[in-house]
Amino acid sequence: MTKPAFPELTAAIDHLRASLGTPVAVWHYTPSFSVVRFENPDGGKTYRPFWRDSEGWRPGVPPKPWPLFTRPNPLPPNADPIVVVEGEKCANLAHSIGLCAVTSAGGAGGA
């Protein structure tokens, strides 16, 4: 079954708000792939990927291969070293102290 498509990423996120909670962070891997963190009403958290095809933005995972989340984006051609971390927050933190960092969607099991 094909997931519904939405004209904008914000509309796709809003479509899941009632079932998943409040979106609190969005990480843009590429112009057509993002991951959103939702905080649930019970205090839990969940992450959902969104991807764009010719019909619009869809919740769910895109066809493989999935892009990497890099900071800076794009990585400079002479980036050395590149630190592999778990999670977008860690990639942003590494970049904030001057490191080039990369992570994959789906946590440690997504690589």
Q: What is the pLDDT of residues 49-90, one digit of tens each?
A: 999 999 999 999 888 898 999 999 889 898 889 999 999 999
How far apart are the C-alpha atoms of 17 and 73, rounded to whole Å?
28
Tens of pLDDT along 82-92? 999 999 999 99
Contact 69, 103 (CB under 8 A): yes
What's this model's pTM, rounded to 2 decimal places? 0.89
